[in-house]
Amino acid sequence: MSAYNYLTKAEALDFLSRQLHLQLLDEELDTPCLPTLRKICYAYSSEVPFSTVRFLLTPVEERVLPSLKEIKAIGMAKSGNTCYELNIFLRWILAAVGYDVYSILEIRHLIIPC
């Protein structure tokens, strides 16, 4: 697990199989490839809801970005949330199963300890 990834490969595979109902063959995970990436992204976008309700119900002065621990809990529960949380969690999944993934907004968490 890289220093910038907060999911282990086992956690990512468990999420893919239990929450997304996606069973990947060992051959599909040996070398990251476009067909497997498409399967993961399709399952993720189909199963994990985008939602701004929690954000909109929170008074503006109380709105804060979630910690990495909160993002992990939100993601593992498949409860959905804003694009910020969804994109970070998907980045962790893809990195954990071997893809080279880069995100710009996540840099905030690399500077500010959670």
Domain ranges of the chain: 9-111
Instruction: Identify whether the C-beta of residue 85 lies closer than 8 Å to the C-beta of residue 66.
Output: yes
Distance between CA atoms of residues 25 and 64, nearest Å: 39
Answer with the residue of higher pLDDT: 49 or 103. 49
Give the predicted TM-score (pTM) of the model: 0.81
**pLDDT recorded at residue 35:** 94
Distance between CA atoms of residues 48 and 100, nearest Å: 22
**pLDDT recorded at residue 1:** 43
**pLDDT recorded at residue 61:** 86
